[in-house]
């Protein structure tokens, strides 16, 4: 009897469960899975914004008539403010300490003058290649946008963008998001040129810009420009980095200074590097800088460093775990162990693996390679560069690894130094000892060639730009001091 009661009780419970679940709406039953984070494209910034105040960054005085006074438009379809624009933009958002954000990125700005919030929401608007703009949300309908040396305070006047504005904007743009033959492309390249004599070595940095417009087949435009220094598109603005070095006997001083490019001039400079030891850049992006240093001229004794490229110019060196995490540390240990078996590493002069910072990014055979330098031997010291095959966890390398067969390219031109394809592989660049070439894959002859000065060359930065942003980059390249190269 007791067994029968137990069975009856179990059946009753099961029946109740079936009846209850059958009465619940399946969508309500799965309500947990239907709760998702808001899509970045549905950000609260969507709408039309009016400029209510403009401050010149640094002087805290009203900006002059060269400021942008047009409305700002933000939607899933477009971003447009002044001469900066994107079709089908990408949106990301993050919360960060207000003081930390401004101290690192904009040290001349005092956030307490316009907000009391401990944390600030940052919305980043970008395209797949090229332009990026950060917007700081101050209140629900009030934002701060920093561009070209100005602080723009804006107020939302509508929560949408009128379709007529989008249609006109779209018609004015030419294939902004697709790199194609019948559109516009820009190519920005920065190169280090090295020359040496018996006493000193000299380094010179130049940037070059190719502009190609094939939208109107009967009126193809192909232009090339040169600018002394390193032209760099940073988030929200454009910069030029100037390098100088002075030799006074055995004494040396090298400096790297970043300057903001505005409509009027190149201004608001800050020092990124100052060294009494000769150094040369091996890689640069909007976020990071890599360089090598050597205590003596023409010496193979060098060490590498990677740093963040922040507003103060005093960021710490990145170590192996900063760059590639625990997996990177494991790979480094394996690399050093194998090298020790081959060549016997000097324990005194090599860096400790616990906080390994002797890491750099170097261009080699059409790819970016992570390298370290090792000290070998005991009595007779030797120095050796070694590749570290790590995968970075930080956003440092934006270009994909090349599938170029370097041995075949060397057979075609033994003087070739580098070769890079555009993201869609419709165009490519070749660098050799004497020239910089831009090609389309449908032609064997270069679209344009730039003659280069004598010296040993290496690529330190390359960026492809498409659509009307190719015009924007060209305008700022010229403002930075770029001059047109006559064919």
Identify the pLDDT of residue 172: 55
| Structural contact between residues 184 and 471, judged by C-beta atoms closer than 8 angstroms | yes
Question: What is the pLDDT averaged over residues 282-293?
Answer: 93
Token couple for 231? 């032209």
pLDDT band at 292 (very low <50, low <70, confident <90, very high): very high
Higher pLDDT, 163 or 174: 163
**204 sits in which H/E element:** strand 201-213
Token couple for 42? 């549905």
- pLDDT tens digit sequence for 398-438: 777 777 888 888 888 889 999 999 888 889 999 999 999 99
| Structural contact between residues 305 and 284, judged by C-beta atoms closer than 8 angstroms | no
Burial status of residue 360 (CB atoms within 10 A of its CB: 0-12, 13-18, 19 or more): buried
Token couple for 240? 């030029």
Whose tokens are 């004494």? That residue is: 251
Mean pLDDT for the chain?
Answer: 81
pLDDT band at 295 (very low <50, low <70, confident <90, very high): low
**For residues 11 and 6, what is the distance between their CA atoms, to the nearest angstrom?**
9
**For residues 279 and 252, what is the distance between their CA atoms, to the nearest angstrom?**
10
Predicted TM-score of the model (pTM): 0.74
Identify the pLDDT of residue 299: 56
What's the first-to-final CA gap in the chain, in angstroms?
A: 105
Identify the pLDDT of residue 464: 92
- pLDDT tens digit sequence for 370-403: 999 998 888 788 888 999 999 999 989 877 777 7
Of 118, 113, 125, 127, nearest in space to 95 by CA: 118
In the chain, % helix, strand, coil (3-state, to 5) comes to 20, 45, 35
β-bridge mates for residue 211, sequence order: 186, 223
């Amino acid at each position: 009897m007791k067994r029968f009661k137990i069975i009856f009780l179990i059946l009753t419970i099961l029946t109740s469960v079936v009846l209850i679940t059958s009465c619940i709406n399946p969508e309500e039953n799965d309500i947990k899975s239907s709760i998702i984070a808001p899509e970045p494209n549905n950000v609260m910034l969507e709408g039309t914004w009016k400029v209510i105040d403009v401050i010149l960054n640094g002087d805290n005085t009203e900006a002059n008539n060269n400021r942008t006074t047009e409305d700002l438009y933000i939607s899933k379809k477009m971003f447009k403010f002044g001469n900066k624009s994107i079709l089908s933009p990408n949106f990301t958002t993050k919360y960060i300490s207000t003081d930390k954000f401004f101290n690192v990125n904009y040290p001349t700005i005092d956030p307490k003058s316009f907000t009391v919030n401990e944390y600030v929401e940052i919305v980043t608007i970008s395209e797949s290649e090229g332009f990026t703009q950060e917007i700081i949300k101050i209140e629900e309908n009030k934002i701060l946008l920093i561009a070209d040396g100005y602080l723009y305070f804006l107020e939302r006047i509508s929560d949408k963008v009128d379709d007529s504005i989008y249609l006109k904007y779209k018609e004015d743009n030419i294939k902004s998001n697709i790199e194609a033959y019948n559109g516009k492309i820009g190519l920005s390249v920065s190169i280090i040129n090295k020359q040496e004599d018996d006493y000193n070595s000299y380094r010179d940095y130049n940037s070059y810009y190719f502009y190609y417009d094939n939208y109107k087949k009967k009126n193809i435009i192909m232009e090339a420009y040169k600018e002394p220094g390193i032209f760099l598109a940073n988030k929200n603005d454009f910069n030029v980095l100037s390098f100088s070095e002075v030799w006074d006997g055995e004494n040396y001083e090298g400096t790297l200074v970043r300057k903001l490019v505005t409509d009027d001039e190149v201004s608001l400079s800050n020092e990124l590097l100052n060294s009494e030891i000769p150094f040369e850049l091996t890689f640069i992006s909007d976020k990071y800088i890599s360089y090598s240093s050597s205590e003596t001229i023409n010496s193979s004794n060098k060490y590498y460093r990677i740093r963040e490229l922040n507003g103060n110019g005093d960021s710490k060196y990145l170590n192996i775990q900063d760059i590639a995490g625990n997996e990177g540390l494991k790979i480094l240990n394996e690399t050093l162990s194998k090298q020790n078996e081959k060549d016997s590493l000097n324990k005194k002069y090599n860096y400790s693996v616990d906080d390994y910072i002797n890491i750099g990014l170097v261009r080699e055979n059409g790819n970016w390679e992570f390298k370290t330098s090792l000290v070998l031997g005991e009595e007779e010291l030797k120095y050796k560069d070694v590749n570290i095959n790590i995968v970075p966890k930080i956003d440092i390398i934006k270009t994909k690894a090349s599938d170029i067969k370097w041995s075949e390219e060397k057979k075609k031109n033994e003087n070739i130094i580098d070769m890079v394809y555009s993201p869609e592989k419709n165009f490519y660049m070749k660098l050799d000892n004497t020239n910089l070439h831009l090609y389309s894959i449908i032609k064997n002859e270069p679209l344009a060639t730039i003659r280069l000065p004598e010296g040993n060359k290496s690529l330190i930065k390359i960026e492809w730009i498409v659509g009307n942003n190719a015009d924007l980059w060209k305008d700022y390249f010229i403002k930075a001091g770029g001059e047109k190269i006559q064919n």
